[in-house]
Amino acid sequence: MLKKGKQYYDNNAVLDIGENQGNWTAEVEGSDLYNLTMSLKNDGEISEYFCDCPYDGDICKHLVAVFFAMREEIKKQKQAPKKGSKKNQFEDLLAKINVDEYREFTRQYASKSKDFKIAFEIFFADKDDRIDIGEKYTDLIRKLVKKHSSRGYVEYRESSALAKEVSKLIETGYQLTHKKNYRDGFAIAVSVLKEMMAVVTSCDDSNGSLSGTVFYAVELIDDIAKSDDAAIDMKGHIFSFLQTELNNKLYFDYGDFGYNLFAVFEDLAIQLNRAKEFLDFIDALLLKFTGEYGDYKRKFLKTSKIDFLKAIGRTDEAEALVQQNLEIESIRQGEINKAIDKKDFARAKKLANDGIRIAEAVKHPGTVKQWEKELLRIAVLEKDIPLVRYYCKRFAFDRRGLDREYYNQLKDTYNKEEWYAILEAHINETIQRITKDRKPGWGSLNSLLLEALNAVYIEEKYWDRLLALVKTEDGLEILMRYHSYLAPHYPEEMLQLYLPALMLQGDKASDRSQYTSLVGTMKKIIKDIPQSKDSVIAIAKSLKDKYPRKPAMIDELNGILK
């Protein structure tokens, strides 16, 4: 990122950089024109920074470019005389203009530019209680949405542009809160939150940029709610807003916005000592989330209620709710953890077994496995080796493939001779089961055995057995899947499999991406099996001669024939 930013700076991509009492602004020309703001402390440390580009990391290349430019500007300021310098012409001009001239300019410019008039009113909103900054921002956002919409719908290519413009508005909200103008900062956050939620629910937000604006609005509300400087009345206003707004199920249906706002609401309930209102709100909301699709939300609210009661010291009520809601996985998990910590393994096992019965009744195999893993954890603590082996075997030889963690845990419970016998029994059982269950059309027996046993053979380094199964395959993709394991041990045998497979793949290939992939495979084989070079190049020449009317293939093959 540092290198990219330096390149931007060296290429003069930083435009119109300026500074006023430690606050810097700049424009950087990239794939678009980006606006940046930075603040410096007296010791030169960068305290704040913002770029309206779509990069979702912390510091983008545009910021780095401006940091270089700032450093040079500061050097120039220190070296050049202040009086009469070009750098200070604008500041000198401002100092010479009187109040009446300021006002006349502002009137004239505001009459010509509605955006300037709105920006002016927003900036000085704290000077006049008649200015409704929330209403002005709501109107502005609706205009931006209309600008980037087609028949009321924001398409994918317009979503980033709209998000970029709305992000600038959120930045204004942060600037207001930094000046301790929490009222107007919150008003902006609310405008963005409500208007952009309406957009997010009916647009193409595949890149998540518009959802990001809602997230940043929620963050701004959270910052104000947590600020020590925000007045109690202001926090009460936010609490009341959330108390109403969280009744809108859309916040919970799209992203995590509802859950994030709920966390702010909960924090304010503790700060403002409004426990009864918060608990009553949860009970009312629980009645709204009904049916199968409300299950997750109900569990979230019940868990939140328990955590809140614990946080405010009402532990007896919290414990009673815990016992009433053990069907919630996270609550049951907490109780199992507490029992294990107390070494009450009998209670821990009962909780896990009861959880299994509940999960089986509602056909949740993933939850069944979760509780079985808890039984394994308890078996390890109790040194119950037979039970450890039982569960490790279940989890190790999963139908989705070998789980190496449980495989090695199982292996560690046996000595070398015992493990060999167990492993051979598993291999034989697998061969017999697949041979017996195989039906016509399922593929060759060896292919099915390779799929079932490859992970065990690789884990145990049974290269000869793995090779015996791989030898029956002719597909290049399958062969290359085992290349790194077998080529170092059986280069000649693997080469004899690769040559016809390369030719077959060349016959099947039909576009440049497939030609590129084929040539890449050829190069890898040559690199890993040096003695294969002449044979692989011969295949490449043969394909080139065979398909003279495939210029893209010839172009790619020339890359290996040069």
Q: What is the DSSP letter of 496?
A: H
Report the interhelical angle of 114-123 vs 133-147 (nearest 10°). Answer: 140
Looking at residue 522, its pLDDT comes to: 97
Q: If you write DSSP's letter for every residue of 278-319 in order, what string do you get?
A: HHHHHHHHHHHS-SGGGHHHHHHHHHHHHHHHHHTT-HHHHH
Q: In the sheet that 33-40 helps form, which strands lie side by side, from edge to edge?
A: 14-20, 23-29, 33-40, 46-51
Looking at residue 191, its pLDDT comes to: 95
- 382, exposed or middle or buried, with CB in 10 Å at 0-12, 13-18, 19+? middle
Q: How confident is the model at residue 290 (pLDDT cuts 50, 70, 90)?
A: confident
Residues 254 and 200: beta-carbon distance below 8 Å? yes
How far is CA 171 from each of CA 167, 188, 225, 264, rounded to the nearest angstrom? 6, 10, 17, 20
**Whole-number Å distance between alpha carbons of 70 and 559:** 47
For residue 28, give the H/E element and its range: strand 23-29
Q: Which residue has the higher pLDDT, 359 or 47?
A: 359
Q: Which residue has the higher pLDDT, 52 or 267?
A: 267
Query: Residue with structure tokens 């209620």?
Result: 305
**Whole-number Å distance between alpha carbons of 52 and 263:** 27
Collapsing DSSP to helix, strand or coil, 17 comes out as: strand
Say which range, 236-240, 285-289, 409-413, has the weakest mean pLDDT: 285-289
Looking at residue 126, its pLDDT comes to: 58
3-state SS string for 145-167 = HHHCCECCEECHHHHHHHHHHHH
Q: How confident is the model at residue 293 (pLDDT cuts 50, 70, 90)?
A: confident
Say which range, 372-386, 442-456, 527-541, has the weakest mean pLDDT: 442-456
Report the interhelical angle of 491-508 vs 512-528 (nearest 10°). Answer: 170
**Whole-number Å distance between alpha carbons of 485 and 489:** 8
Say which range, 130-144, 156-170, 346-360, has the weakest mean pLDDT: 130-144
Tokens of 484: 């790194």
Domain ranges across the chain: 2-79, 132-273, 485-562
Kindly state the average pLDDT of the residues 270-276: 96
pLDDT digits (tens, 9 = 90+) for 468-517: 999 999 899 999 999 999 999 999 999 999 999 999 999 999 999 999 99
pLDDT digits (tens, 9 = 90+) for 58-82: 789 999 999 999 998 888 877 765 5
